[in-house]
Each structure stands twice: as C-alpha cells, then as structure tokens.
C-alpha cells in the first residue's frame, strides 16, 4: 500500500500486481483484503484507490485456479462486500481491462473512473460460468435489468464510453486515470457512502419485469443449443429482481457451483487456453514461434474477388491494411468491386466512426485492378482464384516474377498441394497456405499451412496477419484437405451412408444440431452447394464418364462409395441456390429447409435398386457414426505430425466448423466420452462395414487406450518414448 498526500488528505493506493493480466488469484485476493483492512484501521487514511499494475485493472479470477480452488467465487464475493462496507470511500481506477471478477471488484468500490481506452465486461458466460463475485446482484442495481442481462448473458466487452452512458462508471478520462481517481477520492472524502453502496440500492423497476425476463429466457433457450451458462446467468439476474440482496447472493452462489462443476465450464476453459496455446506454434522440423519474427505487412493484394476474395479484402480493409484487389477481367472486377463495397458499407455501419475509419473510398487504401504489374510493391499476396492447380501455378509463376523477392505468397486453396504450387515460383520459402473460411470477413479461423520449403518467418508473418485480422491462425502441415476438411470428409461420408441404410437428412441433421452444431451436415451441404463437391469428385475421377466401365455403383477402388450426392447433382439439385437439394426450399435461393417427399421417395427407390434393407437407425448410432470417424481421422493427423497437438484440431473445429464450443472440440470431446469407448464403437462399426477404411481405428487411438488413456495434453508427447512408437 502506498500513500498519496496530495491536498490535505491521504489516499491509500492499492496496486493489483499479478502479471500479465492481474488475475485475482487467492494470493491477490488475500493481499487486497489485507491492504483494505490496513487502510481502514489507519486514521490518517481518508480514502482508498485501487488500480492495476501495467495499465490493466484486472482480467478477473484466475481461470487456471478454478479446477483446484474450492468456492473461488465465494472468496471474491466476500472481498467485494468488504470493499463496499469500507467506512472510507474506495475508488477504482480502471485502465486496460476490468473483466469478470475484476469488474466485480470495481462494482464493490464506491466510485469508478475509467480510461477512455479501457474495456469492461462480465465474460464469465464465455467460459461456462456466471459472475460469481456478487456481480449478478450488483450490476442490475446499478444499470438496470435489460442492460445488465445483456452484458452478463453475452459476456461482451464494452468500451469505457459505453460504460459511461450505461452509468457503469462515473468518469471517463483521456489522460492519467490514476491521477483522476486520486482527485475524485479527495473530492468525496466525508461524503455519505450509503447511496454509493450498490447492495443497498433497489433494482430499478420495469413495468413488465416478468414478461421481459420470460421473453429473454425464451430467446436464450432458442439460441443455447444445450449451452447451460446463459440460462443460469438469467436465473441469477431474475433472483436479483425477486429477492433481497443477501438471498440473491446465496442464489448466485448455488448457480455458480452448478456451473463450476459442469463439464461445459471445463470444456470452455479448455477452449480458452487452447486458443492461446496454438499461438505458440512449432513444426516437426524444429521451427517455432520463438525462432522467427513476423515481418510487417504494409500493403497486401488479393487475387480473385469471388466468394472468398471479397471477404478477405473486407477483413484486410477492416484491419487498416492497404489492399490491391485484382480480377481476371473488367467484368469480373466490376462485379467483385460492387460486392466488396457492399460488404464494407455494411461493416462501416456497424462501426462507431463508420466509413471515415475504414476509409475504403481512398484508392491508397483500397485499389481495384486487372493489372498484375501493380503488385510490384506489396508485402503479401493472398490468391483466391478457382480451385484449379494449373491456374494456381500460372498465377504463382507470375507473382514470383512481378512481386519483390521478400513478398509472401499465400494461397487460399482448400485442399491442393502447397508444395506443388510453391514449385512454380523461384521463392518457395515465401509460399504458404492461408485457408480462410466462408464468409471470410466473419469466420474466425485461418488454417496456416506450411509446405516443405516454407520459411519460419513466413509462418510467423501469416500468424501475425491472422491476429491483425482478429482471427485465430492455426499452423498445420500440408496434406490433402489439410486438417479441417480432412476430418470433415469421413463425417459427411457417414451421414450419406446413414441415408443409404434407412435414415433421412432431417433425422441426421436433428441429432447433430441437438448435439450443438449450428447446422447439420445436410443443411450445410445445401447451403454450400452440392455442386462444389461434385466438381471436385469429378476432378478426382470418382464420378462421371472417367469411371472405369463396370465399376459397381456403390464401390470405388474397392471401398464403399455412395453416389447419392452425385445423383442429386445430376437432377440439378444443388441445394439452396436451385431451391432443391437434400431438402426443398420455397424458391431458388430460399433459406427455409423443408423435408422433401420427393427425396424420401428417391431414397426408397435407391435402396430397392441396390437391395439395401431399410433399418431403423437410432440417435446414438447417428451421432457415433458421424463423430467417431471424424475423431479417428484427428488421431491419424496427430500421428502423422500434421498438427502438433489435439488443441489445434479443437480450435479448428470450434472456429471453422461450428463445433459447439461448450463441448470443447472433437478431441476434447473424445477425452470426455472416454477413449476406450470411442475405440470399442469404431471396432464395432468397422466390423459391420468392412469396406469403409475410415471406420478402422487409428493406430494412435489404439496405442493410447493400451497406455491407459493418458490425459489429452500427453497424447502426442507420449509417442516420443521409443517403447510407444506406432
Ligand atoms: N486467468 C488466468 N490467466 C489469464 C486470464 C485469467 N482470467 N486472462 C488472461 N490470462 C492469461 C492468458 O492465458 C495468457 O497467458 P499466456 O501468455 O500464458 O498464454 C495471458 O494471460 C495473456 O492473455 P491473452 O493472450 O488473452 O492477451 P490479450 O491481450 O489478447 O487479452 C484479455 C487479454 C482481454 C484479458 C483476455 O485474456 C481475456 O479475455 N481474459 C479472460 C477474461 C475472463 O474471462 N475473465 C473472467 C474470469 S472468471 C471470473 O472472474 C469469475 C468470477 O466472476 C468469480
Ligand atoms: P469463386 O469461384 O467464387 O471465385 C474465384 C474468383 O477468381 C472469380 O471471381 C474469378 O474471376 C477469379 N479468377 C479466376 N482466374 C483469375 C485470374 N487469372 N486472375 C484473377 N482472378 C481470377 O471461388 P471461391 O469460392 O472464392 O474460392 C476461391 C478459392 O478459395 C478456391 O481455391 C477455393 O477452393 C478456396 N476456398 C473456398 C471456400 C468457399 O467456401 N467457397 C472456402 C475456403 C477456401
């Protein structure tokens, strides 16, 4: 505790110090309590000011401590009450972040001063919890139920200016926050503290409180898809409206304990750390985030303004990186330009300062061209032309000649070989895959694929770029489909096999949507367009006239193959774009999927033709047949060293494939189901379907079960022991 003797009175300063984010560990809570007690006992101290070291107030409770700490929330609540009960005014000086327990500490203070760049919020819901330091009871009393419910159930971080408008802070300053807080503390010495103690305030009334809460509950329930925390957050806020403060706090603690012991909180906290762990990338050849410094990207280019290029340009502009957008001819350029402008205008409308900030009408920040020569000075190019190897090679050859030698050449290919593309250039070390997901200005994932020659600096630069675009980059090796699409293939394949065996698209989708996926495989296929996969299968010679004569309809290269998607395409059923696919839609481009009697009939005829006996398939089988082969492929990817740990696969699935975050990702999910069970089920299904290699359990899965299912963090490292070689 330091002293400040400005003016006539002494303000005791309490500094939170626990780098890097001043998390409230038990040691920090104890030190804060001791500091407060000393300040209260010292007659020369007239006010107290709490601030955080390194320009950060606090990011809340120490998330790493949850698994080992009993009643963490309870300890924090006790401290927050203690602050509020102090006989001397306590002022919070909020710089950087005041999140979770950090904001709850600030709510215990009698006054709050925030720096204009500070961000505040109660993000506990995002890690499967609720604010357990009495925040669900104090915040509604301060800013009213609607605003409090919004912050608590979404977990969003708000800027200080919004916090001021809501009444969450008393002052916002542009300069020295600590000075401003000390001034405020001096001004309020000897003023009555009762009106500043939030626990004593009533919750502001709404004329229709019950109806409002019921409406909010119905909305949350619809969006939740099995995610528990938002619902319990609402119950805690409801308690604030119905019970006296102390009883409300008891209810908050009960609900917090329910969430803390739930598997969902564990999964979400795993996901939080997994997203940070993948930033610390390594490759099997020993390159790592420590060994390479990213290069600055002052100017970028995007080649191809189709579905993906448009979103990528938008993301670059939003990140304030000047972009050159290039198309093959003026007609495509004009279409692309219009589409990009529309996206940017929509983005600008969402931003506070709008187009002025994005500045996309300035040709120095966004230039459209058909002339490759313009690209001589860019630092990085992202190619997003058609998925065609010959075309990509032609473009890379051209780029290699025109761009400066240090320029990074990235391809957005979803499956093609990075090494083959790199071989078309004279600088293969500068070539790297940056696989964005559609829509690219929205989806957070970027798979960063290194080829044989890719330099560590190129990887570091691509990762840095992903960060600048506010996306999550995950470094993976080069193989067909990379990680995400390679794991997706057996999932989609099984979904179609299930139709052959007796199921329907709506039944399969329902099971996977109940599991928590935003959208099931058939609705997804209709949305993306069945023709995309059809073209790729034709290219691989799996369907169409290139098939060897006499190939059995349901086998390719001796393995089971379902021609169902190809047959639908032959009927012109490409999904939403044609108004028909696995479902029917009100019109071409329609969005509302309705089960289609035509398709049911078609499936029945198909089974007759191929003499497949229809059987009833239960929900458990649907779930396991779709998810376990996807997980199995994940184990193969780990064994091949394509990804350096299970967290990588999980981060990819959570951010790029709609895997429910509260289930932690496929590999985490496998660890919760239990590896012996996953193995036993794969063995059972592979016996029933011997012509499906994707159902054969992977060597790594078998090894891990034989080793007694070590914890997920040891799945890859245990292979380094000679006795555990596969
Ligand atoms: N506990 C423990 N570690 C934390 C932490 C926390 N609350 N918040 C961040 N960290 C760690 C990160 O793991 C990372 O560690 P690493 O360097 O070893 O990888 C380091 O701090 C820096 O974090 P980021 O890489 O995320 O840094 P950014 O600058 O990008 O973001 C942040 C900073 C906005 C504070 C972000 O870390 C964040 O959102 N943190 C979580 C905030 C949160 O959820 N708080 C609620 C906690 S639960 C709670 O308070 C319960 C209470 O109500 C009872
Ligand atoms: P698209 O067909 O929508 O757009 C491709 C664009 O490239 C067209 O506008 C075309 O005019 C342009 N183009 C073609 N040749 C060109 C040339 N020589 N010079 C300049 N521009 C040229 O394709 P889409 O969907 O945007 O895909 C692009 C790449 O991204 C492909 O490699 C694809 O596999 C990959 N991808 C696609 C995803 C998707 O969901 N559509 C998801 C992830 C990756």
Residues of the chain with pLDDT under 70: 1-9, 67-74, 352-356, 544-552
* Nearest ligand to the CA atom of 391: 2
pLDDT of the residue at 7: 44
Angle between helix 484-501 and 597-609 (nearest 10): 80
Measured from the Cα of 308, ligand 2's closest atom is: 26
Which residues contact residue 350 at a Cβ distance below 8 angstroms, ignoring those fewer than 6 apart? none
* Phi, psi for residue 47 in degrees, rounded to 5: -155, 165
Residue 111 backbone phi and psi in degrees, to 5: -140, 150
Catalytic residue among 84, 95, 124, 134: 124
List, for residues 644-661, the tens digit of each pLDDT value. 999 999 999 999 999 999
pLDDT tens, position by position, 541-566? 888 665 666 666 788 888 899 999 99
Is position 124 annotated as part of the catalytic site?
Answer: yes
How far does residue 59's CA lie from ligand 1's centre (Å)? 6
Helical residues (DSSP H) of 368-455, grouped into ranges: 389-402, 418-422
171-173 vs 111-115, strand pairing mode: parallel
Whole-model pTM?
0.94
List, in order, residues 6 or more apart from 570 with CB less than 8 Å away.
none
Structure tokens at 699: 């060597």
Contact 16, 75 (CB under 8 A): no
CB-ligand 1 contact for 60 (6 Å cutoff)? yes
Task: Give the span between the Cα atoms of 431 and 400, in whole angstroms.
Answer: 10
- The contacts found for 223-226 with CB under 8 angstroms, 24 or more apart, are 225/513, 225/514, 225/516, 225/518, 225/660, 226/514, 226/515, 226/516, 226/660, 226/662
DSSP-assigned letters across all residues of 309-378: HHHHHHHHHHTT--EEEE-SSHHHHHHHHHHHHHHHHHHHHHSSSTHHHH-TTSTTTEEEES-GGGGGG-
Ligand positioned closest to the Cα atom of 64 = 1
Compute the distance from residue 17 Cα to the ligand 1 centre, in Å. Answer: 14
Q: Which structure tokens are listed for 30?
A: 């104890």
Distance 24 CA to ligand 1 centre (A): 11
Dihedral sign from CA coordinates of 182, 183, 188, 189:
positive
- Closest approach atom of ligand 1 to CA 135: 53
CATH of the domain spanning 503-609, picked from 3.40.50.300, 1.10.1040.10, 1.10.10.10, 1.20.1250.20: 1.10.1040.10
Structure tokens at 493: 């394949």
Residue of 484, 392, 479 lying closest to 447 (CA atoms):
484
Q: Which two tokens stand for residue 121?
A: 């919020």
Cα–ligand 1 centroid distance for 21 (angstroms)? 7
User: What topology is assigned to 620-725 in CATH?
Assistant: 1.10.1040
pLDDT given at position 557: 81
User: SS3 string of 98-137?
Assistant: EECHHHHHHHHCCEEEEECCCEEECHHHHHCCCCCCCHHH
Check pocket membership of 97 for ligand 1, CB cut-off 6 A.
Answer: yes
Q: How far apart are the first and last CA of the chain?
A: 58
Q: State both tokens at 428.
A: 């293969």
DSSP secondary structure of 510-532 = HHHHHHT-SS-HHHHHHHH-HHH
Exposed, middle or buried: residue 378 (CB in 10 Å: 0-12, 13-18, 19+)?
Answer: buried
CA of 417 to the centre of ligand 2 (A): 16
The secondary element (H helix, E strand) that includes residue 47 is strand 45-52
Class of 2-260 per CATH?
A: alpha beta
What's the rounded Cα separation, in Å, for the pair 498 and 587? 27
The best mutation among 385, 413, 527 to test binding of ligand 2, ranked by most ligand atoms within 8 Å of the C-beta, falls on 385
Shortest-distance atom of ligand 2 to CA 310: 26
SS3 611: coil
- Indicate if ligand 1 lies below 6 Å from the C-beta of 96: no
Q: DSSP state, 692? A: -
- Point out the ligand 1 atom lying closest to the alpha carbon of residue 72: 54
Domain ranges of the chain: 2-260, 287-476, 503-609, 620-725
State the Cα–Cα distance between residues 489 and 482, nearest whole angstrom: 11
pLDDT for 545 equals 61
Instruction: Check pocket membership of 665 for ligand 1, CB cut-off 6 A.
Output: no
- Secondary structure of residue 118 in the 3-state scheme: coil
The rounded Cα 4 to chain-centroid distance in angstroms is 44
Which tokens hold the place of 39?
């300040």
State the ligand closest to the CA atom of 52: 1
Identical fold for domains 287-476 and 503-609, yes or no, is no
Distance CA 431, CA 462 (A): 10
Q: Name the architecture of domain 287-476.
A: 3-Layer(aba) Sandwich (3.40)
* Residue 445: strand pairing partners: 472
User: What's the 234 CA to ligand 1 centre distance in angstroms?
Assistant: 24
> 3-state class of 467 per DSSP?
helix
Give the number of other CB atoms < 10 A from CB of residue 520. 25
Distance CA 138, CA 233 (A): 13
Q: Would you say 479 and 486 are in contact if contact means Cβ atoms under 8 Å apart?
A: yes
pLDDT of residue 548: 63
CA distance 347 to 315: 10
| CB neighbour list of residue 557: distance below 8 Å, 6 or more residues apart | none
Among 380, 561, 356, smallest CA distance to 464 is for: 380
């Amino acid at each position: 505790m330091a002293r400040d003797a400005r003016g006539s009175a002494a303000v005791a300063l309490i500094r939170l110090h626990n780098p890097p984010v001043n998390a409230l560990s038990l040691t920090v809570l104890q030190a804060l309590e001791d500091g407060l007690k000393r300040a209260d006992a010292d007659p020369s101290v007239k006010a107290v000011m709490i601030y955080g070291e390194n320009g950060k107030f606090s990011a809340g409770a120490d998330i790493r401590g949850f698994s080992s700490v009993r009643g963490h929330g309870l300890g924090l609540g006790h401290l927050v009450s203690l602050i509020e009960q102090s006989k001397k005014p306590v002022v919070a000086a909020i710089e950087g972040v005041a999140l979770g327990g950090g904001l709850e500490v600030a709510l215990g203070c009698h006054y709050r001063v925030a720096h204009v760049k500070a961000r505040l919020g109660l993000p506990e819901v995002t890690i499967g919890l609720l604010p357990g330091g009495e925040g669900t009871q104090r915040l509604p009393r301060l800013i009213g139920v609607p605003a409090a419910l919004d912050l608590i159930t979404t977990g969003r971080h708000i800027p200080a200016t919004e916090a001021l408008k809501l009444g969450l802070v008393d002052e916002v300053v542009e300069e020295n926050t600590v000075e401003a807080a000390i001034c405020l503390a001096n001004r309020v010495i000897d003023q009555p503290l009762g009106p500043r103690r939030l626990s004593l305030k009533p919750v502001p009334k709404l004329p229709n409180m019950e109806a409002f809460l019921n409406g909010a509950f119905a909305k949350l329930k619809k969006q939740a898809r099995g995610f528990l925390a938002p619902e319990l957050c609402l119950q805690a806020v409801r308690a604030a409206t119905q019970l006296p403060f102390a009883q409300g706090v008891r209810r908050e603690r009960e609900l917090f304990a329910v969430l803390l012991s739930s598997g969902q909180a564990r999964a979400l906290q795993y996901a939080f750390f997994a997203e940070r762990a993948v930033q610390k990338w390594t490759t099997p050849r020993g390159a790592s985030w420590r060994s390479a410094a990213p290069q600055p990207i002052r100017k970028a280019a995007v080649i191809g303004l189709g579905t993906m290029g448009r979103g990528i340009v938008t993301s670059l502009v939003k990140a304030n990186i000047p972009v050159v957008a290039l198309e093959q001819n003026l007609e495509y350029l004009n279409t692309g330009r219009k589409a990009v402008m529309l996206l940017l205008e929509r983005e600008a409308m969402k931003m506070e300062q709008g187009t002025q900030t994005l500045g996309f009408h300035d040709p120095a920040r966004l230039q459209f061209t058909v002339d490759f020569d313009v690209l001589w000075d860019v630092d990085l190019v992202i190619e997003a032309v058609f998925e065609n190897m010959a075309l990509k090679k032609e473009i890379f050859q051209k780029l290699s000649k025109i761009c400066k030698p240090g320029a990074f050449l990235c391809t957005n290919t979803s499956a093609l070989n990075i090494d083959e593309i790199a071989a078309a250039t004279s600088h293969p070390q500068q070539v790297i895959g940056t696989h964005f997901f559609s829509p690219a200005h929205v989806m957070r994932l970027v798979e960063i694929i290194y080829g044989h020659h890719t330099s560590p600096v190129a990887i570091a630069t691509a990762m840095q770029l992903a960060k600048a675009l506010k996306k999550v980059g995950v470094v993976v090796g080069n193989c067909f489909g990379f990680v995400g699409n390679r794991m997706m293939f057996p999932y989609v394949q099984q979904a179609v096999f299930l139709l052959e065996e007796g199921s329907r698209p709506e039944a399969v989708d329902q099971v996977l949507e109940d599991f928590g996926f935003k959208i099931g495989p058939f609705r997804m296929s209709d949305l993306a367009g069945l023709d995309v996969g059809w073209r790729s299968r034709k290219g691989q010679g799996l369907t169409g006239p290139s098939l060897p004569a006499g190939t059995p309809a349901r086998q390719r290269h001796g393995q089971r193959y379902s021609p169902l998607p190809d047959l639908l395409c032959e009927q012109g059923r490409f999904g939403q774009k044609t108004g028909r696919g696995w479902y029917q839609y009100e019109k071409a481009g329609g969005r509302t999927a309705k089960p289609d009697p035509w398709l049911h009939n078609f499936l029945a005829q198909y089974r007759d033709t191929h003499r497949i006996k229809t059987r009833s398939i239960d929900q458990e089988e649907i779930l396991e047949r779709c998810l376990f082969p996807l997980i199995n492929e994940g184990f193969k990817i780990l064994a091949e060293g394509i990804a350096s740990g299970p967290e990588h696969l999980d981060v990819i699935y959570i951010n790029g494939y709609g895997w429910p975050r509260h289930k932690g990702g496929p590999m985490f999910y496998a660890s919760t189901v239990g590896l012996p069970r996953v193995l036993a089920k794969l063995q059972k299904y592979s016996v029933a379907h011997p012509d499906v290699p994707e159902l054969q359990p992977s060597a790594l899965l078998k090894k891990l079960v034989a080793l007694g299912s070590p914890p997920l963090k040891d799945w890859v490292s245990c292979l380094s022991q000679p006795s555990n070689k596969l």
